[in-house]
């Protein structure tokens, strides 16, 4: 079953083509890495997939809904987390969970039950009443991810989820991603850490608005005769014409 | 003769001397040699920005003392401001002014001109020159970074403080920025740079690994790697998830984490019971548990391995 399927997706701003005719699909339970240099068009493409931006042309289905016609339904059906913004720091741990549960329409009784289990799993029972800003960054990160999939979406979009996180927490975070994917949640993730690209089932690399490569890390390395994903990335980024690098 | 003594004095003295400096929590002491690239490496919240703001005289310390080029950070803050360049982590140029106007403001504030020190920024600014009439706010992330660096350099600072210049920047642009830092070092500028990327450590002359307001270690990347007191193995196999679980439970394995396309595991170096853990014995153990086609090699730690080891202590 496909959770994302897009065809010839394009977005232009005036004379500038930010996303240029991209087509790809993502399977259920897959960890899909979405890479590209700054300015390659990743954010614009992600916004269209999340129902936040209307495409100039092309079509697509995300979580069973049409990105041109049902963008509101997409927003309710997906999860989203970014490093820049994830939780309300001035709210308590339980208040954040409660707020997200409410926004995504999780019934109250269900929400109470799930939130107990969530705090237990994260070992955060004692921090229930703590303000999020008082938690160490690593805990906040794990809580943010758990909250983003609290309503059990079929897919979660993670926008640079591990930026600035310490190396141990970064790895523990990926172990959480694996667990969620094994439970059937599709993961769509962007990152600037090339070692993390290795943890994805498949990786796409955007250059100047187009998807220039899409395959498993092992096959990409083979195709480009590269020792690691960093090397693949560099070889591809050199194809860029915009000279902004 | 007087010239000669001043040259000698300069070449022997330190660019930065920090003693028991404290702000909020933690306390640090360290020195930076003149003309050195000194990296402060650590995750968000470690205290990197606070340290930079204290050293650039933007925050007062709670206690302790520090000197930059011989000037005291509290008493001589005016002098320090003249001789340091500071590029904050957050883009803080004038978004509504053009590229050229931003640069001119910085030059004028420091009583110089773009022309006078153009040679310092030429390699960076030449990428921006075609866009010099564009508003700074309309630049891409990579170009904003280049403009900010140009502005921090235009008064020919003796010490350059760069707070996370590569955060959120793609690997190719990161590499370019580090090449620029190498060129500035050759101009004799002392560079203090912070980063959350452990792989950038090897590009510094010396590094401090920072966590919770403290330095876990401060030395050359080589010395930090040499001080790693565990055996490290790299393990590759078909199913990394199963492999990870299998290794975490194995006798003698202290830690096991994913590292790109392989797993890194640490074992005790001098332990009577587990000293026999070798690449071969690990491979045999894994094969007994039913895992086939496993590759195990003894490997040298990276700075990231060292940081993780220090965090576990």
ipTM field? 0.84
Query: CA dihedral in degrees (A190, A191, A192, A197; nearest 10)?
Result: -100
Q: Give B-chain residues touching A18 at CB under 8 angstroms.
A: none
Q: How far apart are CA A68 and CA A60, in angstroms?
A: 8
Given a cut of 80, is residue A10 above it in pLDDT?
A: yes
Answer for the pair B198, B230: CB distance below 8 angstroms, yes or no: no
More confidently predicted of B246 and B61: B61
Q: Give the mean pLDDT of B301-312.
A: 94
Taking CB atoms and an 8 Å cutoff, what residues of chain B touch A168? Answer: 257, 308, 311-312
Is the CB of residue B79 less than 8 Å from the CB of residue B120?
A: no
pLDDT of residue B170: 83
Domain ranges of chain B: 13-225, 228-311
Lowest mean pLDDT among A97-106, A120-129, B270-279: B270-279
Residue A74, min C-alpha distance to chain B (Å): 27
Q: Which of A38, A192, A195 sits opposite B260 (nearest CB)?
A: A195
Q: How far is A54 from chain B (nearest CA, A)?
A: 22
Encoding tokens for residue B97? 């002014």
Pairing of strands B230-236, B159-163: unpaired
- Rounded to an integer, what distance in angstroms lies between the CA atom of residue B277 and that of residue B269? 9
CATH topology (fold) of B13-225: Rossmann fold (3.40.50)
CATH code 3.40.225.10 for A1-15+30-71+153-245: no
Give chain A positions within 8 Å (CB) of B46: 166
pLDDT at B10 over 60: no
Do the domains spanning B13-225 and B228-311 agree at the CATH topology level? no
Q: Helices in chain B by DSSP H: which ranges?
A: 2-12, 48-55, 77-83, 99-109, 118-125, 141-153, 171-186, 221-226, 240-248, 279-288, 303-311
Q: Is the domain defined by B228-311 classed in CATH 3.40.630.30?
A: no
CB-nearest partner of B307 from A167, A175, A199: A167
Are A198 and B140 in contact (CB < 8 Å)? no
Across the interface, whether the CB atoms of B140 and A167 are under 8 A apart is answered no
Mean pLDDT score of chain A: 92
Q: Identify the bridge partners of residue B210 per DSSP, sorted by sequence position.
A: B215
**Residues linked to residue B33 through DSSP beta bridges, in sequence order:** B14
pLDDT at B3: 45
Q: Which residue of A has its CA nearest to B45?
A: A137
- E strand or H helix at B64: strand B63-68
Banded model confidence at residue B312, pLDDT cuts 50, 70, 90: confident
Q: Report pLDDT for B6.
A: 44
Chain B residues whose CB is inside 8 A of the A194 CB are 171, 260
Instruction: Give the predicted TM-score (pTM) of the model.
Output: 0.87
**Contacts A177 to B, Cβ<8 Å:** none
* CA-based nearest residue in chain A for residue B197: A164
Q: Choose among B170, B241, B308: nearest Cβ to A192.
A: B170
Q: What is the pLDDT of residues A136-182, one digit of tens each?
A: 888 888 999 999 999 999 999 999 998 888 899 899 999 999 999 99
pLDDT given for residue B313 in this prediction: 80
Cβ pairs A/B, distance under 8 A: 92
Domain(s) labelled CATH 3.40.50.300 in chain A stretch across 1-15+30-71+153-245
Instruction: Write out chain A residues lying below 8 Å of B311, CB-based.
Output: 166-168
Host H or E run for residue A229: helix A229-237
Closest Cα in chain B, distance from residue A187 (Å): 16
Query: Chain B residues within 8 A (CB-CB) of chain A?
Result: 42-46, 127, 140-143, 167-173, 175-176, 196-198, 211, 241, 244, 257-261, 304, 307-308, 311-312
Is the predicted pLDDT of residue B76 greater than 80, yes or no? Answer: yes
Instruction: Chain A: give the shortest CA distance to residue B111, in Å.
Output: 31
B169 Cβ neighbours under 8 A, 6+ residues apart: A38, A192, B141, B142, B145, B177
3-state secondary structure of B28: strand
pLDDT at B7: 44
Please choose, from the candidates B140, B178, B83, the residue with its C-alpha nearest in 3D space to the C-alpha of residue A243.
B140
Q: What is the dihedral of CA A142, A143, A146, A149, to 10 degrees?
A: -120
**Percent of chain B predicted with pLDDT > 90:** 65
pLDDT digits (tens, 9 = 90+) for B189-217: 999 999 988 989 999 999 999 999 999 99
CB contact under 8 A, B172 and A165: no
pLDDT tens digits, residue range A18-73?
999 999 999 999 999 999 988 889 989 999 999 999 999 999 999 999 999 999 99
d(CA B137, CA B280): 57
Q: pLDDT tens-digit profile of B156-185?
A: 999 999 999 988 788 888 888 899 899 999
Task: Tell me: pLDDT of B90 over 90.
Answer: no
Question: Is the pLDDT confidence value at B1 over 60?
Answer: no
Short-list A7, A49, A2, A3, CA closest to A24: A7
Q: Are A163 and A83 in contact (CB under 8 A)?
A: yes
Per-residue confidence at B9, pLDDT binned at 50, 70, 90? very low
């Amino acid at each position: 079953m496909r959770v994302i399927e897009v065809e010839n997706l394009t977005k232009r701003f005036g004379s500038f083509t930010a996303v240029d005719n991209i087509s790809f699909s993502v399977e259920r339970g897959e960890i899909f890495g979405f890479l590209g240099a700054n300015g390659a068009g990743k954010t614009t493409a992600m916004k269209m997939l999340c129902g936040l931006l209307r495409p100039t042309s092309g079509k697509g289905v995300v979580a069973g809904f049409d990105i041109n016609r049902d963008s509101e339904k997409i927003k309710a059906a997906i999860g989203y987390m970014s490093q820049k913004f994830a939780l309300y720091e001035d709210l308590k741990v339980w208040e954040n969970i409660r707020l997200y549960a409410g926004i995504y329409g999780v019934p109250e009784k269900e929400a109470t039950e799930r939130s107990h289990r969530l705090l237990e799993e994260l070992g955060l029972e004692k921090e229930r009443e703590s303000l999020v800003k008082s938690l160490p960054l690593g805990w906040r990160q794990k809580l943010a991810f758990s909250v983003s999939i609290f309503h059990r979406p079929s897919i979660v979009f993670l926008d640079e989820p591990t930026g600035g996180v310490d190396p141990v927490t970064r790895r523990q975070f990926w172990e959480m991603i694996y667990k969620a994917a094994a439970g059937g949640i599709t993961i769509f993730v962007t990152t600037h850490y090339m070692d993390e690209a290795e943890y994805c089932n498949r990786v796409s690399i955007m250059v100047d608005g187009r998807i220039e490569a899409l395959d498993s890390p092992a096959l990409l390395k083979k195709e480009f005769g590269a020792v690691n994903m960093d090397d693949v990335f560099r070889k591809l980024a050199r194809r860029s014409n915009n000279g902004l690098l | 003769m007087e010239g000669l003594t001043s040259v000698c004095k300069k070449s022997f003295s330190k660019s930065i001397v920090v003693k028991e400096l404290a702000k909020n929590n933690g306390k640090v002491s360290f020195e930076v040699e003149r003309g050195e690239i000194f990296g402060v490496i650590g995750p968000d919240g470690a205290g990197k920005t606070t340290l930079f703001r204290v050293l650039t005289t933007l925050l007062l310390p709670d206690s302790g003392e520090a000197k930059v080029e011989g000037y005291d950070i509290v008493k001589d803050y005016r002098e320090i401001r003249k001789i340091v360049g500071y590029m904050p982590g957050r883009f803080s140029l004038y978004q509504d002014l053009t590229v050229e106007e931003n640069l001119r403001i910085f030059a004028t504030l420091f009583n110089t001109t773009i022309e006078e020190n153009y040679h310092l920024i030429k390699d960076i600014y030449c990428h921006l020159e075609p866009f010099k009439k564009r508003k700074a706010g309309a630049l891409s992330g990579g170009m904003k970074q280049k403009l900010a660096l140009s502005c921090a350099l235009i008064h020919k600072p003796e010490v350059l403080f760069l707070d996370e210049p590569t955060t959120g920047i793609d690997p190719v642009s990161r590499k370019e920025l580090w090449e620029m830092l190498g060129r500035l070092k050759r101009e004799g500028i002392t560079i203090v740079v912070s980063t959350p990327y452990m792989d950038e450590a090897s590009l510094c002359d010396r590094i401090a690994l920072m966590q919770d307001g403290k330095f876990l270690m401060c030395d050359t990347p080589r010395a930090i790697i040499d001080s790693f007191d565990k055996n490290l193995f790299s393990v590759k196999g078909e199913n990394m998830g199963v492999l990870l679980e299998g290794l975490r439970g194995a006798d003698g394995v202290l830690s096991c984490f994913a590292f790109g396309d392989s797993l890194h595991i640490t074992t005790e170096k001098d332990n009577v019971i587990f000293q026999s853990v070798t690449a071969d014995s690990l491979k045999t153990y894994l094969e007994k548990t039913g895992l086939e086609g496993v590759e195990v090699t003894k490997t040298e730690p990276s700075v990231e391995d060292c940081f993780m080891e220090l965090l576990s202590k």
